[in-house]
Amino acid sequence: MIFVNLPVGNLDASMDFYKSIGFEINPHFSDETAACMVWSEAIHVMLLTHAKWRTFTNRPLPPAGSSEVMLAISHVEREAVDAMSKAAAANGGTADINPVQDLGFLYSRSVADPDGHVWEAVWMDPAAIPSGDQPG
């Protein structure tokens, strides 16, 4: 399992954003200082208020407009990539913060959540990778 911990300025707005792009809340690990948002059995995002974040580390929060990581989430359908981008833009995030990537066998769009954390929605058809480009 992986737990991605993210500091957020407005917990309720962040929860609404993550629900809009397909995450579900796990109420057993959520309270007024943190929310556990579930993508799959293996991937969870812990949204932490700034005060809660500071109980884990003394490192400074990244300045606005910076990117500490870009987290990619795979989708089983190409249309789901566009749906995630649209939902992000309609719910406090920013769509297409990086150029849309369309390689035929791979399609991705990057969004930022309300705090600027970067997520990349990705669809890939491994069977369509040109034979000279396959790892191996």
Which of residues 2 and 133 earns the better pLDDT score? Answer: 2
pLDDT at position 64 is 82
Q: What fold is seen in the domain 1-57? A: 2,3-Dihydroxybiphenyl 1,2-Dioxygenase; domain 1 (3.10.180)
pLDDT at residue 134 tops 70: no
Superfamily the domain 69-136 falls into: 2,3-Dihydroxybiphenyl 1,2-Dioxygenase, domain 1 (3.10.180.10)
Q: If residue 81 lies in a helix (H) or strand (E), which one and from where to where?
A: helix 78-90
Residue 133 has what pLDDT? 55
Least confident of 56-60, 120-124, 130-134: 130-134
pLDDT score recorded for residue 127: 87
Q: Which residues of 51-90 are buried (b: 16+ CB within 10 A; e: fewer)?
A: ebbeeeeeeeeeeeeeeeeeeebebeebebbbebbebbee
- Please state the rounded mean pLDDT for residues 85-95: 97
